[in-house]
Amino acid sequence: MKKVKITVMKTACYTDLIEKYENPIPHACDMQEGQTFIANGWEKPQGFCESAWESISAFVMALAHGGENFYDGWMKNKKSAMISCNDGFRPVSFLLETMDADAD
């Protein structure tokens, strides 16, 4: 099984939607652009957001098991995927990349 590098590429925050619809919650998202995590197959990396993991884990699993070329050529690198978490107030975009078998 291959490791998968997860990089936080972009974070957004829709304050207009938050003010109108969300009840205040502390520490809703602590992800920072440029932050990286290494997933070892199905195992959620330590410190990774549980909700975001639910959004991306199927793609991580597919990549870890040799899957590639999602949606017939969607990504320039066929061993990668750009997936966002499902937080409609603070979406985060993650780049998932298969690592070489001997890479740490």
Question: Bridge partners of 40?
Answer: 3, 43
Q: Return the exposure string of 31-65: e unless at least 16 CB atoms fall within 10 Å of the residue's CB, then b.
A: beeebebebeeeebbeebbeebbebbbebbebbbe
Q: How many other CB atoms sit within 10 Å of the CB of residue 12?
A: 12
> pLDDT tens across 47-66, in order?
999 999 999 999 999 999 99
Q: What is the predicted pLDDT for the residue at 38?
A: 97
Q: What is the predicted pLDDT for the residue at 100?
A: 76
Band the pLDDT of 101: cuts 50, 70, 90: low
> pLDDT tens across 29-42, in order?
889 999 999 999 87
Q: How many other CB atoms sit within 10 Å of the CB of residue 16?
A: 9
Question: Bridge partners of 81?
Answer: 96
Domain ranges of the chain: 3-23+30-98
Task: Write out the E strands in 1-90.
Answer: 3-11, 36-40, 80-84
